[in-house]
Amino acid sequence: MEKFELHILGCGSALPTTRHFPTSQVLNVRDKLFMIDCGEGAQLQFRRARLKFSRLNHIFISHLHGDHCFGLWGLISTLNLLGRTAELHIHSPRGLEELMRPTLAFFNRQMTYEVLFHEFEADAPAVVYEDRSLTVTTLPLRHRIPCCGFLFAEKPGLNHIVREMVDFYGVPVYELNRIKNGADYVTPEGKVVPNHVLTRPADPPRRYAYCSDTVCLPGLSESLQGVDLLFHEATFATDNLVRARETFHTTAAQAAELARSAGAKRLLIGHFSARYEDESVFLQEAQEIFPAAQLAKEMLCVSL
Amino acid sequence: MEKFELHILGCGSALPTTRHFPTSQVLNVRDKLFMIDCGEGAQLQFRRARLKFSRLNHIFISHLHGDHCFGLWGLISTLNLLGRTAELHIHSPRGLEELMRPTLAFFNRQMTYEVLFHEFEADAPAVVYEDRSLTVTTLPLRHRIPCCGFLFAEKPGLNHIVREMVDFYGVPVYELNRIKNGADYVTPEGKVVPNHVLTRPADPPRRYAYCSDTVCLPGLSESLQGVDLLFHEATFATDNLVRARETFHTTAAQAAELARSAGAKRLLIGHFSARYEDESVFLQEAQEIFPAAQLAKEMLCVSL
């Protein structure tokens, strides 16, 4: 299976603690790196995770709160110092470009590469990225300011060639692409070899959903049906249920409910409030409802 | 002796490494905290050093390069989240306020406290801070953009009362302040008790100098005469002497020469280039010239 790995660079919330960096993640899809949010220190953590800057071309920002984007200035400047030439694409709710352009220009008198901002309205789902193997769709969330999550969905892959059978029937190389795409093979003698004999099914396409920051939105479960991994914010535990609602955040139990009703395969929770010294309460409350829940932590890498 | 402690929060240079945070330090003078430069992640390191935000009222920025100030946005926002009410003073070369105001306003819709910018010209020494026990003077440096270091100088303290002698002579309490300031005591019988009998000398005032980023300026040694601690950048070792000059930086050996000619008591070097995996070369080259040299590292605390 080709790589589909999530790296947690930071999973704290707005207030810094000695335990967590603010929010940032990197999804590695077949060695293309997609950064999701870019809190302060993201570039340091990126290095620590031994990821390669040259593989990073797209950054997705959920919303314009500082703990989700203050790392952009440093990261962009570093890429400039490194002499990057490839364009860097930043996808975010409206407003980021206007905010960043003056400071970026000041701190980077000469840019070796271009930063392209792609801004979207956060209130309706939209495909914000697409390539041969992946689409990224926004998931409108409800927070104090416009905010959305992101659904990373692999496209269905091609069937795998079964080398022994292809050799056995002497299939010529130029036929292989058609066969991967589902065609049968007809021998020179006119014998039809059905596709399923020559191939085994493609790997099931994988999906990763990122939801932070938001009140719990049970209605999301439809868009999240069967995701392989759901990252959901769990800023509070049930002891702060009211506060969670007031501040437009979610509790660990609510995140677990959503994972269950969406039929997610796994749940990762993070964005923990600084007030919890002991985070085991998040895990307990989530696992009671959804056993395949796990706490995010810095440098965790989850492979799908 | 009252506290006079330097905390290193970060001592890397512009490119992030897995070993270092970008530049930031905190000088603790009698429990008042003075931050010097504020690279990305400074607020995280501040927390890790177990320092108290409430004791921090003044930040000094040497120059407007990102690795010396990108931590300001996060720090200022955090203080706002914490509901700070005391003013925060930021001292920097000209240009920072214009640059920061729009983004600060955007990310902090309601400020609970005021940020006051105090901008100076970096090309002439100036007293930029003064209180009862301390002055901070700029040290003009030479870098690619306007830049200056800072000299933190304790004011001479008052003599210490020798409790036993004061009791012996029955000195009334209201005389003590005059005696601390150097006066003799005259008994009701007219006998003169000389000041030196009643007091022991004040602690010698301490001085800390911070010089980063800059080409080596031997002329600085005059302003630095006898400093208790000199922090000087040492971005390169001698193998990159030419590059140091070209990029307006200093080598470890040059920093050591300066410390020696200034008669500094101790030297701390930092701002190491990311290209040096093994930093022992900095220490070797510096100690050959100035044995009381030491490498900066994150979370190091030097007490004077």
Give the residue on B whose Cα is nearest the Cα of A43: B16
B19 reaches A (C-beta below 8 A): no
CATH class name, domain B4-157+203-303: alpha beta
Question: Could you tell me the two tokens for B193?
Answer: 């008790």
Indicate yes or no: CB of B107 within 8 angstroms of CB of A64.
yes
Joined together, the tokens standing for residue A98 give: 């206007």
CB contact under 8 A, A74 and B66: yes
- Provide, rounded to the nearest whole percent, the portion of chain B with pLDDT above 90: 97
Question: Which one of A21, A44, A99 has the shortest CB-CB distance to B16?
Answer: A44
Could you tell me if A190 lies within 8 Å of chain B, comparing CB atoms? no
A15 part of contact set with chain B, CB < 8 Å:
yes
B99 part of contact set with chain A, CB < 8 Å: yes
Instruction: State the nearest Cα–Cα gap between A72 and chain B, in angstroms.
Output: 10
> Any CB–CB contact under 8 A between A81 and chain B?
yes
What would the pLDDT profile of A35-44 be if each residue is shown by its tens digit?
999 999 999 9
From its phi and psi, is residue A190 left (phi > 0), alpha (psi between -120 and 50) or beta? Answer: left
Mean pLDDT of chain B: 96
Mutate to test the interface with B, among A9, A17, A40, A98 (most CBs of B within 10 A): A40
CA gap A183, A199 in Å, rounded: 10
Residue B194, classified by CB atoms within 10 Å of its CB into exposed (0-12), middle (13-18) or buried (19+), is exposed
Whether A95 sits inside 8 A of B106 (CB atoms) is yes
Given CB atoms, is B133 within the 8 Å cutoff of chain A?
no
Per-residue DSSP letters for B160-173?
EE-HHHHHHTT--G
The share of chain B scoring above pLDDT 70, in percent, equals 100
Whether A47 has its CB under 8 Å from any CB of chain B: the answer is yes
Q: Quick check: B16 pLDDT over 90?
A: no
Q: Which residue of B has its CA nearest to A100?
A: B103
Of A15, A74, A99, nearest to B70 by CB-CB distance is A74
Cα A275 to chain centroid, rounded: 26
- Taking the Cβ of residue A103 and every Cβ of chain B, the question of whether any pair is shorter than 8 Å is answered with yes
Q: Chain B within 8 Å of A92 (Cβ-Cβ)?
A: no
A21 in reach of chain B (CB within 8 A):
yes
Of B22, B41, B99, the CB nearest to A106: B99
Q: Active site residue: A67, A228, A239, A278, which one?
A: A67
Q: Under the phi-then-psi rule, with left for phi > 0, alpha for psi from -120 to 50, and beta for the rest, what region is A123?
A: alpha
In the annotation, is B67 catalytic? yes
| Predicted confidence (pLDDT) per residue in A115-153, tens digit | 999 999 999 999 999 999 999 999 999 999 999 999 999
**Using one digit for the tens of pLDDT, what is the confidence trace for A223-237?**
999 999 999 999 999
Instruction: Give the rounded distance of the alpha carbon of B242 from its chain centre.
Output: 29
Interface contact B99-A77, CB threshold 8 A: no
Instruction: Tell me which chain B residues have a C-beta less than 8 angstroms from the C-beta of A74.
Output: 16, 22, 40, 66-67, 70
Q: Is B90 helix (H, G, I), strand (E, B) or coil?
A: strand
User: Which pTM was predicted?
Assistant: 0.93
Q: Which of A43, A99, A107 minimises the CB distance to B16?
A: A43
Which residues in chain A are closer than 8 Å to B71, comparing Cβ atoms? 40
B86-139 pLDDT, tens digit per residue, is 999 999 999 999 999 999 999 998 999 999 999 999 999 999 999 999 999 999
- Residue A191's pLDDT is 93
Sign of the torsion formed by the C-alpha atoms of B37, B38, B42 and B47? positive
ipTM value, please give it: 0.91
Q: Which residues of A touch B15 (CB under 8 A)?
A: 78, 81-82
Backbone angles phi, psi at B214, to 5 degrees: -170, 155
CB A114 within 8 A of CB A90: no
Asked whether the beta carbons of B294 and B267 are under 8 A apart, the reply is yes
User: Of the candidates B41, B73, B77, which has its C-beta nearest A44's C-beta?
Assistant: B41
Mutation target vs A (from B24, B40, B78; most A CBs, 10 A cutoff): B40
The shortest C-alpha distance from A222 to chain B (Å) reads: 33
Contact call for B15 and A70, based on CB within 8 A: no
Residue A109 in contact with partner chain B when CB distance is under 8 A: no
E-strand ranges in chain A read: 4-10, 24-29, 32-38, 56-60, 88-93, 115-120, 127-130, 134-140, 148-154, 160-161, 185-186, 192-193, 199-200, 207-211, 229-233, 267-270, 293-295, 301-303
Each residue of A248-298: pLDDT tens digit? Answer: 999 999 999 999 999 999 999 999 999 999 999 999 999 999 999 999 999
Q: Where are the domains of chain A?
A: 4-157+203-303, 161-200
Q: Of residues B37, B67, B213, B228, which has the active-site annotation? A: B67
Tell me the residue ranges of DSSP E strands in chain B: 4-10, 24-29, 32-38, 56-60, 88-93, 115-120, 127-130, 134-140, 148-154, 160-161, 185-186, 192-193, 199-200, 207-211, 229-233, 266-270, 293-295, 301-303
- How does pLDDT run across B164-206, given as a tens digit for each residue? 999 999 999 999 999 999 999 999 999 999 999 999 999 899 9
